[in-house]
Amino acid sequence: MFDPVRLFDHYLRQLQHMLTVIEQQAGSALLLARLHEDMLPLLNQVRAAANFALRGCCPFAGQPVVSFDSELDTFNTLQVQIIQTMAHLNALPLTLDNMPTEIAEQAGFKEVRLPAKDFVWLYIVPNFFFHLNMVYAIARHHGVPLSKQDYDGFHGYPSGFSFDI
């Protein structure tokens, strides 16, 4: 069954959890932290992940793509954006009947035009995970003690576990 909402919903919940840990461990200074100077800061990585989920699912419901970005740069507004994104995704009437033949959009300075399923699985999903991974990487780079368990919600490690031997 074609259900990208389930995938996005799960990992957006994990993103919420990671943001809670990041805020508790590092505070708001990390919102503007970057992995590299020419990359987007953490808050934009969060927004991009949420928006890729919407950009991938709205067209399948025959709906315009929406965004719940806020002009305020706080952990709270990012959490609200994720909540609104998940609510919107879960309310979309996704059926194969609504599926367009092809979807096109701008990717940077290039137009991407792909068959609908390829658009989601080859373009949207990898970009969603790219931005999710950047949030994790920025936080870890700045010393936030996140683990793979925080990222995917499935792994489990004992307290104090390290891969260092």
| pLDDT tens, position by position, 73-115 | 999 999 999 999 999 999 998 776 667 889 999 999 999 999 9
Q: Give residue 126's pLDDT band: very low, low, confident or very high (50, 70, 90).
A: very high
Domain ranges for the chain = 4-152
Element (H, E) at 105: strand 102-107
Closest by alpha carbon to 21, among 68, 79, 71?
79
| 36: pLDDT strictly greater than 70 | yes
The pLDDT score that the predictor gives to residue 96 is 65
C-alpha to C-alpha distance for 48 and 69, rounded to whole angstroms:
9
Answer yes or no: are the C-beta atoms of 54 and 23 closer than 8 Å. no
CATH number for region 4-152: 1.20.120.450
| 1: pLDDT strictly greater than 60 | no
User: Would you give the distance in Å from CA 156 to the centre of its chain?
Assistant: 22
